[in-house]
Amino acid sequence: MAGFNLLNIGSQALLANRTALSVVSQNIANASTEGYSRQTANFVSVLDRGGSIIQDIGRATDKFITQQLWSDISSFNSLNLKDTLTSQTDDLLASSGTSISTALDTYFTSMQNAVDDPTSLANRELYIEESAALARRFNNLSANLVVQNNAANAAMEASAENLTQYSKSVAELNDQITYLIGRDEPVNELRDQRDVLVNKISEIVDVNVVEQGNNYNLFIGNGQPLVVGQTVNVVELRQGNPDSTQSQIYIKMSGSEINITQQVSGGVLGGIKDFRNDILNPSLNELGRIAIALAEETNTQHRKGMDLNNDLGGDVFLDINAETSMQSRIKANNNNLSTVNVARVQITDTTKLTLDDYQLIVKDNNELLVKRQPSGTVVSLTKAAVDATPLPANTYFLDSGTGDIHLQVDGVSITVDTVGFMSIGDSYTVQPTRDAAAQISSIIDDAKKVALASPVRITTNPNNTGSAVASVEVTDPTDTSFMNIGTTGQLNPPVEIVFNNAVPTEYSIYDISNPLDPQLMTLQAVLQQDIVFVPGTEFDLGGYKFTIDQIPKAGDRFSFDFNQDGVSDNQNALALSAIQSKALLINGSLQDHYSGIVEKVGAKAATGKINLTASESVLRSTKDSLASIIGVNLDEEAARLVQFQQAYQASARVISTSQLLFNTLLESF
């Protein structure tokens, strides 16, 4: 039976080597196929000189490196997208064609021209034009940043759709692999396809892969299941709630939906989330804060001046607390059970404005939870016992029964009035500065209404012999001091300060509405007669205050009256020009804050490129490591091809030899 044993060994060897040749051929054919893992024919010996068989077709793999690859792909794609968007933002903020800094310089240069020659209508018209140009620059830069946000929304939508499709394909492959393994059929190529799909999912979001049996279970966010076996939980992009401009990511599970926007990390979705939180929204908020401070300070100062019509100045820019602006700063959650009657956010102190947004959440026992966004930090507030007006800083009043919220925090006053009661869980998002750059506009259009002069004229008696100098500052143009000045032509009342004695210097202040019968005035409930003078003393007249510096002598006097036809006066123009260097915000001037955001975004762009380069290097290294394990080496495969070809031929010789021996044996009988 030796010939029969040789025939059996040769037949098995022939089949085994033929299979090995097909495996090598498959490797060579797929040397350039994405994600293909090199396969190996695993030979085993049959007991008792029974020859050899192919036990299985192995698939080269390394679970640890594969997991690392998915993580590196996710990290790289997140950094890559964030770097692209951040660089675009950096260009917008720093480019002279779009920069607010350039427009501010041009605007204040036009004001300086008006300071130099306040009588020039051309200078006043130029100031109006530059005011409008500055407002448009704010509008355009804001619009460009909004375009970036829209592009991010579009990228998120496409990514969410792809994520769902890839997840469905993974689930289908899970099913096919399980089915084919049950039928003892090959699945190596299907496993490769599944790994490639996970690569693509990793480009979209950081994914945790748990291998259970023959299945891949995928989890994202804080452990939300994306794929479990053959079950897929769909990821969808929804319009932001309550901010419709900020799309949000939801995952649908077992009939419920979970917002995972702030939970996702890595990949395109994580990169967009980080870009919004770190770059886009802070830039929009800072841009809005600068616009608010500019408009408020300019309007406030301009109202203190007098124009060529002898009228007090009006607003240069749209009032920051216009009703539409106040209402746009707060948004109710769409899921609230209560209906808003009116909700508004009033800016009360621009110097206290931060870059934060706020989330207001109604709790039980008429308590209010306030969180800074996007950090989620809880704001420490005191609950007011009664609805005082105005509330002290960092206090709130909530009456859910009447549907009222009043809150004072960080220079803003927040009011919510609902129709009927409020429900526990009702929430509101407050964005004090987000849209301000888009809303700022120049509303002055008449050169004669540019208020460059002070409405108070100082007249120094020509007979004064002392060194005293008087200056005046308007504090409240709505005060009765300026009532009816257009018709009466004088302050209410005009005043004069008279210095009486030489040593010590004493003074009296008179109402000189009737110059022939001056009346001694009472200031701040103290009779100002024969009072010892101290240089630098401020005298508060209600709507304005004046200061006397240096040393007057007996008989010196200064009078203060309406600055009728003071066309050459530039006192208010000087104050308007000084806004350029004035510390209007928490960390300095308007230019300081704009330079600050340019520097921050520029620094983040530079850091992002460094991190991206490092991430790309790590990803390349991981790919190379995995390729060295699963990749096809054509030289090795060529050697194996020759090896298995020779073995195949030798196996055929064994069979022919077996036949020869068997025939010889038969002939011997």
CA neighbor of 300 nearest in space, from 273, 330, 321: 321
Let me know whether 638 and 618 are in one domain.
no
Q: What is the 3-state secondary structure (H, E, C) of 409-440?
A: ECCEEEEEEEECCCCCCCEEEECCCCCHHHHC
Let me know whether 113 and 253 are in one domain.
yes
Let me know whether 639 and 528 are in one domain.
no
Let me know whether 475 and 393 are in one domain.
no
| 373 lies in some domain | yes
Question: Residue 500 CB: number of other CB atoms within 10 A?
Answer: 17
Place of tokens 């009035």: 417
CA neighbor of 629 nearest in space, from 69, 142, 38, 204: 38
Q: Is pLDDT at 528 greater than 80 in this prediction?
A: no
Find the range with the poorest average confidence among 44-53, 273-282, 475-484: 44-53
| 279 lies in some domain | no
Q: Is pLDDT at 649 greater than 70 in this prediction?
A: yes
Let me know whether 480 and 558 are in one domain.
yes
pLDDT (mean) for 126-155:
96
DSSP summary character for residue 185: -
H or E element in which residue 181 lies: helix 121-182
| 316 lies in some domain | no
Give pLDDT, residue 530.
53
CA neighbor of 351 nearest in space, from 598, 592, 587, 595: 587
H or E element in which residue 597 lies: helix 590-630
Structural domain boundaries, residue 103: 66-272+588-622
Domain total of the chain: 4
Cα-based distances in Å from 217 to 104, 125, 232: 56, 69, 10
Let me know whether 81 and 230 are in one domain.
yes
Give pLDDT, residue 457.
95
Q: Is pLDDT at 630 greater than 80 in this prediction?
A: yes
Which carries the bigger pLDDT value, residue 360 or residue 184?
360
| 525 lies in some domain | yes
| DSSP code per residue over 129-166 | HHHHHHHHHHHHHHHHHHHHHHHHHHHHHHHHHHHHHH
Tell me the two tokens of residue 210: 């748990």
| 575 lies in some domain | no
**Residue 477 and residue 313: Cα distance in Å, rounded?**
9
| 582 lies in some domain | no
Average pLDDT, whole number, for the chain? 91
| 174 lies in some domain | yes
Banded pLDDT at 558 (limits 50, 70, 90): very high
Place of tokens 């010789």: 653
Beta strand spans in 461-585 (E) = 469-474, 495-499, 506-511, 519-520, 522-523, 526-527, 529-532, 537-540, 544-549, 557-562
Q: Which of 415, 430, 445 is the last residue of a domain?
A: 430
Let me know whether 56 and 84 are in one domain.
no
**Residue 405 and residue 206: Cα distance in Å, rounded?**
40
Q: Is pLDDT at 154 greater than 90 in this prediction?
A: yes
With a pLDDT cut of 70, the percent of the chain lying above it is: 98
Give pLDDT, residue 556.
93
Let me know whether 15 and 87 are in one domain.
no
Let me know whether 515 and 460 are in one domain.
yes
Banded pLDDT at 1 (limits 50, 70, 90): very low
Give pLDDT, residue 525.
34
| 545 lies in some domain | yes
Banded pLDDT at 523 (limits 50, 70, 90): low
Q: Per residue in 291-342, pLDDT tens?
A: 999 999 999 999 999 999 999 999 999 999 999 999 999 999 999 999 999 9
Let me know whether 30 and 83 are in one domain.
no
Banded pLDDT at 205 (limits 50, 70, 90): very high
Give pLDDT, residue 669.
67
Q: Per residue in 13-55, pLDDT tens?
A: 888 889 889 889 988 999 888 889 899 988 898 887 778 888 8
Let me know whether 44 and 71 are in one domain.
no
Angle, to 10 degrees, between the axis of helix 590-630 and the axis of helix 100-116?
170
Give pLDDT, residue 526.
41
Cα-based distances in Å from 322 to 325, 327, 369: 5, 9, 27
Q: Is pLDDT at 524 greater than 60 in this prediction?
A: no
Which carries the bigger pLDDT value, residue 53 or residue 438?
438
Q: Per residue in 206-235, pLDDT tens?
A: 999 999 999 999 999 999 999 999 999 999
Q: Is pLDDT at 109 greater than 50 in this prediction?
A: yes
pLDDT (mean) for 426-441:
97
pLDDT (mean) for 55-64:
88
**Residue 600 and residue 162: Cα distance in Å, rounded?**
33
Let me know whether 169 and 255 are in one domain.
yes
Tell me the two tokens of residue 427: 């929430």
